[in-house]
Copies of this chain bind each other. A is one copy, B any other.
Amino acid sequence: MPEQNPLAPLDPAQPTGPTGPTDPVEPVETVGPSSPLDLAEGDPFGPHNLPYGVFTRPGHGYPERRGGVRLGEFVLDAGAAAAALGSPYVSLLAQPTLNPLLAAGRTAWSDVRRALTAWVTVPAHREVVEPLLHPLSEVTLHLPFEVADYVDFYSSENHARNVGRIFRPDAADSLTPNWKHLPIGYHGRSGTVVVSGTDVVRPCGQRKAPADPAPVFGPSVRLDIEAEVAFVVGVPSGMGTSVALSDFREHVFGLSLLNDWSARDLQAWEYVPLGPFLGKSFATSVSAWITPLEALDAARVAPPERTHPLLPYLDDSAESAADEPGGYDLRISVAINGHVVSRPPFSTMYWTAAQQLAHMTVNGASLRTGDLYASGTVSGPGESERGSLLELTWNGRDPLDLPDGKRTFLEDGDVVTLSAWAPGPGGTKVGLGEVTGRIRPAA
């Protein structure tokens, strides 16, 4: 349930958002501290944020999916607001998925965002908008767009080095020779991308320890998480063409937290030579909320210094020089059963989302609206900044002490929650929608 800020009563002469003064209007009848438009100061889901999702209100006569925008602990029925306010954006917002909005392109994204900001901040709209804000506790959130292709990268140097040290302790370099030359990635299963809150059934499969004479079958005994950030493609591109670094924001609409659940025992036995398959394909959880890139302008940071020269299509020094740094300063938290076990810093990622997009298309592969690509596990340099249990427990050697007992890998009933915030304009925080999921026993 929402927290209300009693220090911020309605004052129609003082717009709370960035849209500036409007014509004076008659004060509307206030509903006191329970108005969803009166957010606590510093609410990370204030009008400076406005992430998009898709919701139903099954108990309230709204069984159809509809586009929504989060404000505090409420969701605005965005399509209904557009219709009530005579906005031309009804066709983009009153839809069962965000795909039409994603496909509309950067100018439309800006225009819609500007309109939404006004709807939730300009007092003249209050009477119309307020009844269209529903408590999150009363809605069901759905996968907000139709996932086209899903790609997972491997772009944290700290993560890649940790994995190298764990699995190839005798190698001269913990990174593979290609790692600093291209953002390594692979395709995942888009059909099992699920929205935050979906239970995850422990997968079964084959595993074989090196000393075992033959593989055995059963529920995974090394079920893990990967804390990641995913980017959502809006505007498609054609086969045979590539997307330049500088065109990143023409194609990518926004981002979301993502948990790339991983069965390490299945993965270890299957992945040579063609990469991860069943160790990943059973479930991938994304947030119900897509944060538009425009909400994260204040969070942009330069990526780490490049230690190897980059081929021109990946060389982002010009973009950074032009005040278009490719990194994002997202502060992620990983909690198991409510206990924070790690705080991975996204700003440490070596490869940026713009580089990933340029690489993914440099061979002429096309983009579709709804393509989703994830960063790979986010791990910082610190021991408490690692984005997987594989790393946090050093492959099970060093169990975590949780209030409810020790953990190497996930146990049935565990609830994993990723959350994050980023610096917003004027010292605000921009909250990212959480990703949570509970482990159910194997079928």
Binding site for B on A (CB under 8 A): 148-149, 151, 154, 176-178, 181-182, 184-192, 194, 201, 203-206, 208, 214-215, 217, 239-242, 263, 266, 269-279, 281-283, 309, 311-313, 359-360, 362-368, 371, 440, 443
Contact = CB atoms under 8 A, between A and B. Distances in A.
B443 A362 contact: no
B275 A215 contact: no
A363 B191 contact: no
Nearest to A168: B273
Contacts of A443: 240-242, 364
16 contacts: A148-B190, A149-B191, A178-B269, A184-B270, A184-B274, A185-B274, A187-B188, A187-B281, A189-B365, A201-B364, A215-B311, A271-B275, A274-B275, A274-B276, A278-B365, A282-B364
A203 B364 contact: yes
B272 A178 contact: yes
A191 B370 CA distance: 11
- Total identical chains: 2
Contact of A363 (B181, B194, B203): B203
B275 A176 contact: no
A122 to B, nearest CB: 41
Given A184-B270, A205-B363, 11 more contacts: A154-B274, A181-B208, A182-B269, A185-B277, A186-B276, A192-B365, A201-B240, A239-B282, A239-B283, A263-B363, A283-B364
Contacts of A189: 149, 187, 365
Contact of A362 (B184, B205, B242): B205
Contact of A206 (B181, B188, B192, B368): B181
A85 to B, nearest CB: 35
A144 to B, nearest CB: 18
A363 B204 contact: yes
Contacts of A242: 204, 443
A205 B309 CA distance: 16
A437 to B, nearest CB: 12
A115 to B, nearest CB: 31
Given A278-B359, A311-B217, A273 B271 contact: yes
A333 to B, nearest CB: 26
Contacts of A206: 181-182, 311
Nearest to A215: B181
B266 A363 contact: yes
B191 A371 contact: yes
Most chain B CB within 10 A, of A206, A277, A363, A371, is at: A363
B275 A186 contact: yes
Contacts of A185: 274, 277
Nearest to A312: B217
Contacts of A181: 206, 208, 214-215
A363 B282 contact: yes
Given A201-B364, A365-B191, A176 B240 contact: no
B176 A272 contact: yes
